[in-house]
Structure 1
Amino acid sequence: MNKENHKKILVLNGPNLNLLGTREPETYGHNTIDQLEALSVEAAAKHGLTVDFRQTNSEGILVDWIQEGRNGYAAIILNAAAYTHTSVAIHDAIAAITTPVIEVHLSNVFAREEYRHHSYVSDVAKGVICGFGTHGYVLAIDSVASMLRNQS
């Protein structure tokens, strides 16, 4: 991987996150997906990193993007949303790549419905951040920056 690719983070967002700011704001907060993207870009820039920020409601597209992340990205930050709890395909896509994946959730999934306590992502992720709202993305970006410094 060249140095330029070493500075890119792929931030992937799953289903219904396009509705941030209006969907259950008591659970997911009042920030929109566009505000979350701006926050992520700003947090990455502080570390000299760039962000490729995407959202889809389609499981297959999310799998394609995870596979795309195996080349050219230092890390993937993934909020698979509901697919976290249902998708073996997303698990297998992550297991098939060597790019580190950090799982992020806006809400504390362990303080919610029982079915949200299981993640098909966690056992193949480098780490998990949940319950800090949009700041969880900043924490994930800070973690990627730390991993990159430790690799140098």
Structure 2
Amino acid sequence: NGPNLNRLGVREPSIYGMATLADIEAMLRDRLQERGYDLIFRQTNHEGELVEFVHAADGANGVVLNAGAYTHTSVALAD
């Protein structure tokens, strides 16, 4: 999870809702555990650290990435 997603539930709740990133993590963790999957959940506001998270997932069955604003600006993540 990319920049400012740690502000969910606080930043403009009329637009982004009241659910916090911790709420979303708990919901995903419960649903995935019911299906026998593990979840590694991370958040950073730093592009380079986000790239390192992706590299560390090499060999994982899958990666779900909400890169936030970096979807518009990051060549490193698009690559």
Runs in 1 of length 4+ with deviation above 3 angstroms?
none
**% identical equivalent positions:** 48
Alignment of 1:88-103 (within 5 A): 88-92=75-79
Distance 2:15 2:77 in 1: 24
Q: RCO higher in 1 or 2 (8 Å CA, sep ≥ 6)?
A: 2
TM-score normalized by structure 1?
0.50
Structure-1 separation of matches of 2:73 and 2:29: 29
The structure with the largest strand share of the pair is 1
Distance 1:70 1:87 in 2: 20
Unaligned runs of 5+ in 1: 1-12, 93-152
User: Tell me, what secondary structure is at the counterpart of 1:75?
Assistant: coil
1:100-139 alignment runs, 5 A limit: none
Q: For residue 19 of structure 2, what is the amino acid of its counterpart? A: N
Q: Which residue of 2 aligns with 1:84?
A: 71
Residue 18 of structure 2 is matched in structure 1 by: 30
State the TM-score, normalizing by the size of structure 2.
0.93
Tell me the amino acid that sits aligned with residue 83 of structure 1: Y
Q: What secondary structure sits across from 2:41 in the alignment?
A: strand
Unaligned runs of 5+ in 2: none
Aligned residues: 79
1:42 aligns with 30
| SS of corresponding position for 1:60 | helix
Q: Which has the larger radius of gyration?
A: 1
- Over the residues paired in the alignment, what is the CA RMSD in angstroms? 0.9
> Counterpart amino acid of 1:30?
M
